[in-house]
A and B are shown apart, each in its own frame.
Chain A
Amino acid sequence: MSENMSGMNHDLMQAGVVTRYELEKHFKSKGFIGIAAVILLIIVLMTAVKPLLGIDFATDPVDFVSDYVNWVAIIVLIGAVAFASGSIVSEFEKRTGLLMFPQPVKRFTYLLGKFASTMIVVTAALALYYLIVAVLCLGIVGSVPSTMLVSFGFAVLYGFAVCGVAYLLSSILKSSTGAIVATVLLFLMVMPILDPLLSMAGIDPFFLASNASGAIGYSLETPYPETFTMTMPHGAELITYIPTQLTAAAVMLVYGIAGVIGSAFVFKKRQM
């Protein structure tokens, strides 16, 4: 059977099997239809409604793409909710764990396989979105900014960060709904509220994933923008903290890695 396979190779083989079947689950899920519908909706609204309202498209390719890239964080969040939030907790909630966990497979291997499948689906969704935007930009503006690829790289890194945290919440919480709500609240409310408040207090919010996600849009610009200060009409100064690409990438990696490691620790200890 597997006598000639070393322990780690066998674990990786098993993780690959888990990834393959999790992918099948994702592609057959309502979440996949949901994220495809969201991408289609954004594209249709952004592309078809403007001419109907008499609004001209941007003539600069960076400006054109920026309008669409503003929605990437939402697509990532929907991807995390659809393919990450329920991933661990559902094995306990739906009792599929009674079948899977007594198999001779380490829980970390399950986690690795599941997380890989989540990242593949989220990356595929982002790639599809960027591809459609690139085609539209080429058709309407006539060229595509080369920086789009860097922006896509940051979008995938942000996906890694959000999905890592979603996996951690999925390992800790007792219901899929709870994990979904916690993920949405964290990335759609808590961080976006803290980000400007910290800026107003003069604290650089570089450690917030929401702040780091700014690199997805900023990366389109050449040269890459820097932190700047605005003087408000009443004389107060407001600093807009722009993370460097290195800082943004590091922060996103820390969120993702910490999320996955934390998830692995909790998942291993969790009792069925």
Chain B
Amino acid sequence: MNNAIEIEGLTKVFNGGFVAVDDLTLEVERNSFVGFLGPNGAGKSTTIKMLTNLISATSGKAYLDGVDVVQDPKGALSNVGVVVETPEFYPYLTPNGILEYLGKLRGLKREEIQSRTADVLELVKMSEESEKKIGEFSKGMKQRIAIAQALMYDPSIVILDEPTSGLDPRGMVEVREILQSLKQKDLTVFMSSHLLNEVQEICDNVAMMSRGKLILNSSVEELGNNATGARIKVRTMVPMENGGLSSIRELDFVGDIEPRSKNEIIVDFTGQNGDRNALLRAIDLDYRVVSFSESGNSLESLYLSKIKESR
């Protein structure tokens, strides 16, 4: 088995019949950085929880480094670092204490634990807090310790479930910087997120889920090449009537128009730069354009259209 992660027909049906993950098949190549993308409730976290022994699969198989996580979770996770959501720590322990605890569970020797603890705390910029009780830490600091513990054992695979979720903007930037630095390491990273810009910024490949099914699996570069559109937000001085917008809808390079208020719309734009000018002039003619901006990039348009298609 050459792939770092292989998922075959993985399915999770919760009590009550809700199908959270529906016959998912996915392969993650070694040393790739894969973004596992999808809206809330798509089944990303459920998939990751099945991969990491937090919940059991209803059917299907999942292999980490060639070891079946359903049959032998201990063996499958022996070379894997995991951060699921924002985990909590025993509040009486310090970062050094929890890393020592987890290091001992993995059978590391004292000297190894000490040197690796220093390295990973340095990487996540938490060296100065190494002897403070984790109970006093903010969510962002805890998340950095969570990433540190995932990297401590020099794993070949790192699985991250929405690592920036719930963090403030500064915390998000800090965690993304740490994730960027992982690209220099000999690692396979599988990271779920519902934030498109995050995946686009950090990952090389994207696997997209919606309603429990895989709807797209491609490289970020390829996606960018295929996605030509944009979402343009336009504010006008004159209120826009729905009927009046029909002439704009008829333009070749206009997809959907989403009214935000009487004076604001978002246009799914699929044309080239020259067409942009034509679009704005058409709106300006009847409604007097006050301002315009791109509310999302081409990948976002593609993402939204894929999600829409899957429903």
Contact = CB atoms under 8 A, between A and B. Distances in A.
B77 A98 contact: no
Interface stretch (B32-40, B104-112, B186-194, B204-212): B104-112
Interface residues of A, number: 27
Determine chain B's interface SS by DSSP, over half rule.
loop
A116 to B, nearest CB: 15
B52 interface: yes
B85 interface: yes
A18 B102 CA distance: 10
Nearest to A113: B105
A236 interface: no
B228 interface: no
B54 A102 contact: yes
Interface in A1-44: 1-2, 5, 10, 13-14, 17-18, 21, 24-25, 28
B74 A98 contact: no
Contact of B146 (A13, A14, A97, A99): A99
A203 to B, nearest CB: 39
A17 B87 contact: no
A104 B101 contact: no
A17 to B, nearest CB: 5
A104 B54 contact: no
B74 A105 contact: yes
Contacts of A101: 52-54
A96 interface: yes
Given A98-B54, A104-B74, A17 B104 contact: yes
B52 A102 contact: yes
Contact of A96 (B73, B75, B82, B88): B88
A252 to B, nearest CB: 31
B301 interface: no
Given A99-B146, A105-B74, A271 B87 contact: no
Nearest to B146: A99
User: Among A17, A28, A102, A104, which residue has the most Cβ atoms of chain B within 10 A?
Assistant: A102
Interface string A229-272: 00000000000000000000000000000000000000001011
Contact of A99 (B89, B92, B104): B89
B304 interface: no
Given A13-B107, A106-B74, A98 B55 contact: no
A106 B78 CA distance: 11
A10 B105 CA distance: 9
B263 interface: no
Nearest to A97: B54
Contacts of B92: 24-25, 28
Nearest to A7: B74
Nearest to A3: B107
B74 A1 contact: no
User: Among A24, A28, A103, which residue has the most Cβ atoms of chain B within 10 A?
Assistant: A103
B49 interface: yes
B88 to A, nearest CB: 4
B56 interface: yes
B149 interface: yes
A264 to B, nearest CB: 15
B53 A102 contact: yes
A104 B149 CA distance: 13
B90 interface: yes
Interface in B81-130: 82, 84-90, 92-93, 101-102, 104-108
Contact of A98 (B73, B84, B102, B104): B84
B259 to A, nearest CB: 41
A18 B104 CA distance: 9
Interface string B66-82: 00000001110110101
A105 B107 CA distance: 11
A96 B105 contact: no
Nearest to A27: B92
Contact of B56 (A25, A103, A104, A269): A269
Nearest to A15: B105
Nearest to A28: B92
A97 B82 CA distance: 12
A24 B93 CA distance: 9
Given A99-B87, A99-B88, A21 B54 contact: no
Given A99-B89, A102-B84, A103-B102, A10 B107 contact: yes
Contacts of B80: 102, 104
A270 to B, nearest CB: 9
A25 B93 CA distance: 9
A244 to B, nearest CB: 43
Given A1-B108, A101-B53, 7 more contacts: A94-B88, A96-B88, A96-B90, A98-B85, A99-B149, A102-B159, A104-B106
Interface of B: 49, 52-56, 73-75, 77-78, 80, 82, 84-90, 92-93, 101-102, 104-108, 146, 149, 159
25 contacts: A1-B107, A2-B106, A17-B104, A21-B93, A21-B101, A28-B92, A94-B88, A95-B85, A96-B87, A96-B88, A97-B54, A98-B85, A101-B53, A102-B52, A102-B53, A102-B77, A102-B80, A102-B82, A102-B84, A103-B105, A104-B74, A104-B77, A106-B74, A271-B54, A272-B55
